[in-house]
Chain A
Amino acid sequence: MAARIGRRTTLALPAAAMLAAPALGQSDQRPSVTVAVQKISNSNLLEMLREQSNVGTRIFFNYAEPLIGTDWTGDMSIRPGLATSWRRPSENVVEMTLRQGVRFHNGDEMTAEDVAFSFGPDRMFGGGSMAGHEPPRDAIAIARRSFPGFERMEIVDRHTVRFINKVPDVTLEGRLSRTTAIIGSQRGFAEAASWTDWARKPIGTGPYRVAEFRPDQVLVLEAHDDYWGGRPPIRRLRFLEVPEVSGRINMLLSGEADFACDIPPDQIATVESNARYEVVGGPILNTRVLTFDKSHPVLANPLVRRAITHSIDRQAIVDALFSGKTRVPPGLQFEFFGETFAEGWSVPKFDLAEARRLLREANYKGEPIPYRLLNNYYTNQTPTAQVMVEGWRAVGLNIQIEMRENWSQITSRETQRGIRDWSQGASFGDPVAQTPPNFGRQGSAWISNEWRNEEFGDLSELLETSTDRPARKAAWRRMLEIAEREDPAWTVLHQNTNFTAKRRDLGWKSSQTFVMDFRNDNWGV
């Protein structure tokens, strides 16, 4: 009996929703848009303190925003968001003027109180006053990592706040633009039954409000017509979880979806063979790298690691596997690092003769080196590895692919590690956003004893704490010299890509990150 009722209910609810949809449409001519995604949220939550993932990055900006915005579809520079302006009264303080008239999805006006709450113990750091609202311990850890020097958020007046850091930090504006810095409604949080309940349906200021979230199935957002940036162009924005690539493409081609995300490069021609559809996107601010484990007896010798870096034909990989739709970046850095960017830097040259010379000098005798690999976690991961293995074999390197099922098996120390794949992304325009957190003394490579270099560790700390801009720039260049040349920690392969298939008649621009921007200035463009 239970099954019969359940089944009826299951089928009846969507049917009722479908009947209701035309009625809504009569008063609102804006379109409903469906986006087929591989995954909506890894954690089944929408709070970015818990959802530290590319897939979370894709959706968050539609329902919640940080104080300082980002030009997602432009040059990725920071720009006014919920804060219209900011200044630095001192090296460790950012004073921000809040935009007036900003409404949360529950109708409340955003004030300095909400900002203080968003950076407070209840949402971020734990030990708050709201009973039953303690953040999960891992969310607290992420908050502390995101704002390592945070002291307090000071309310100056209803529309002015001061972010006060314990130590000087030139990257505070960048940190205030990242996903974890979203501003939520204090009342909305208090009315949720718990932190986790809040995280399932956060109340932010974004152009769309969370109407329904069924984890692993669908996220339905509805237009927040009081949005400070203008009336959203889409009435109902639906992110539908379709795990299989073929399923997403079929949904697009059959008209059930308007966008299909995470399209592999080899499917672009298939999609575009139909004139009604196109694939947009390209390189994003995320770099595919190989990382080395120095505790491996052979890889302990930097000459062997250097030989590996010289026997990778990166451009051939970009041309053959990505149809030239990405690029080999100038080392593990992006131009949007601005003044810290190391000009003239490049990845190790593809030079088989040099690789052979280095191996001779290292007295390498063909000892096996394991290369742990996931099956296409990254786009074209397995074929990329196969191409590289051939290059390594050509110079006498005996690197053996070991397929693994998950990240835990990739990083496991139960058997000898060697080489593994990874990617590095920057959430704001400074190397601090990507490298020290992963390779510095607090990074997982260091902590798991994969790679350590004391000089690099010192420079990482300088990069994070110094306000001397020339010194920071010099430190970053030296860090690249160490980690990409002298004592390789990683070697860059190519910039990652993000391709989205869409209806050609929908004017919409992709960004250089996973963020999908559906505000009115990116619709009909």
Chain B
Amino acid sequence: MLRFLGFRLLRAIVTIVLVVTFAFVVLRLSGDPALLIMSVDAPPEAIAAFRAAWGLDDPLWVQYIRYFNAIFHGDLGRSMRDGRDAIVLVTERIPATLALTLPALAIKIGIGVPAGVYAALHRNSLADRMVMVMAVAGFTIPSFVLGLILVLVFAVQLGWLPSGGQESWRHAILPVITLGVGGAAVLARFTRSAMLEVLGQPFIRSASAKGVPWAAVVRNHALPNAAIPTVTIIGFMVGSLIAGAVVVESVFSWPGVGRLLVVAVANRDLAVVQCILLLVAMTMVIANLIVDLLYGALDPRLRATRTAGAH
């Protein structure tokens, strides 16, 4: 198990280094932060002074080494816009993002998984078709379209809910629904497919033939076996808790990490972008690790393979 964890950790570090390096090179080659932050109308000498102050005149590889050296000393850099620590800027936005993504994750799981299971258990029924129609609609409608429709109906026409901003819990309702609906649709489809595949397996028929009640067959045999693909998808969703609401945060003017990322990328505010990417990569890696561990818990065969590999 330790070797397994060690290998995963090493892979995670390599992944994070590659992500950060790629972002560094792409961002630096595609825009000059001095011009983007100071504006094209700023005097040339002011832009030059900005570049000098932030070391942007140095060769790219020098900037890159300086950046990594700082990271290894625990310094994630400062925002070139207002000089604040990037880590402070990012962490102060995390609660706002989680205020959307955690309830949305609950909606995704709370609606998506039961709906998928129900549809699979009632295959080809009216309920199954309705669930699938809703799932396809939820899956295919882009979040910004759904968000705008919700705003038009519930904020502009009915006046029940605010259209944007982050001033009370009511402001979170529409963005949470927008985020939750799409994810619930994805989960419903995956869960249904997984359940249908498992329900067609010989061991399900065997259990039924032995007289095990159908509910027990589903609970004890179908659900655990169908859980692996569903857990994989949920793992991805957990991994995107930090930066998975970029579009929705923009549509609803929600000041979370996603909006910060958009602004930072537009301004090539490197330290902030890198800080967010590090955070996202770490979240994703941790989520994947948890999913891997859950695989073992859900499927004894995988656990046995790992144990064998550890010897």
Contact = CB atoms under 8 A, between A and B. Distances in A.
A15 B82 contact: no
Given A9-B95, A407-B40, A247 B164 contact: yes
17 contacts: A3-B102, A11-B99, A52-B42, A136-B49, A137-B50, A138-B49, A145-B45, A216-B260, A217-B166, A244-B250, A246-B148, A247-B163, A251-B163, A254-B156, A406-B31, A408-B31, A447-B44
Contacts of B166: 10, 14, 217
A251 B172 CA distance: 15
Contact of B167 (A18, A44, A141, A216): A18
Q: Is the interface of B mostly helix, strand, loop or mixed?
A: helix
A50 to B, nearest CB: 8
B94 A52 contact: no
Interface of B: 30-32, 35-50, 52-53, 79, 81-84, 94-96, 98-99, 102, 148, 151-152, 155-156, 159, 162-169, 172, 250-253, 255, 259-260, 262-263, 266-268
Nearest to A216: B263
A419 to B, nearest CB: 15
Nearest to A422: B40
Contacts of A136: 49-50, 53, 83
A7 B260 contact: no
Contacts of A196: 82-83
A367 to B, nearest CB: 27
B97 to A, nearest CB: 10
A322 B53 CA distance: 42
A140 interface: yes
Interface in A410-466: 410-411, 422, 425, 437-438, 442-444, 447-448
Given A144-B45, A247-B251, A250-B155, A138 B38 contact: yes
Contacts of B252: 247
B43 A145 contact: yes
Contact of A200 (B40, B82, B168, B260): B82
Nearest to A444: B44
A140 B52 CA distance: 13
Interface string A342-371: 000000000000000000000000000000
Contacts of A139: 46
A45 interface: yes
Contact of B79 (A44, A246, A405): A44
Interface string A235-271: 0000011111011001101111000000000000000
A44 B92 CA distance: 15
B84 to A, nearest CB: 8
A241 B253 contact: yes
A250 B42 contact: no
B30 A251 contact: no
Contacts of A425: 41
A149 interface: no
Interface string A379-421: 0000000000000000000000000011111110000000000
A216 B94 contact: no
B95 A214 contact: no
B241 to A, nearest CB: 9
A7 B46 contact: no
Contacts of A214: 255
Interface residues of A, number: 61
A42 B39 contact: yes
Contacts of B52: 137
Given A3-B95, A140-B49, A256 B41 contact: no
A138 B42 contact: yes
Given A9-B95, A408-B35, A18 B163 contact: no
Interface string A217-239: 10000000000000000000000
A406 B44 contact: no
Nearest to A377: B40
A254 B44 CA distance: 44
A43 B37 contact: yes
Interface string A9-43: 11100110110000000000000000000000011
A161 to B, nearest CB: 26
Contacts of B267: 42
A442 B148 contact: no
Given A243-B262, A247-B253, A443-B44, 10 more contacts: A52-B46, A144-B45, A240-B165, A241-B253, A242-B164, A247-B163, A250-B163, A256-B163, A408-B268, A437-B43
A243 B44 contact: no
A254 B102 contact: no
A145 B48 CA distance: 13
A142 interface: yes
A411 B35 contact: yes
Chain A CB within 10 Å, residue with most, of B39, B84, B165: B165
Question: Which one of B44, B49, B99 has the highest number of Cβ atoms from chain A below 10 Å of its Cβ?
Answer: B44
Contact of A145 (B36, B46, B82): B46
Interface in A50-80: 52-53
Contacts of B163: 247, 250-251, 254, 256
Contacts of A256: 155, 162-165
Contacts of B159: 254-255
Nearest to A196: B83
A215 interface: yes
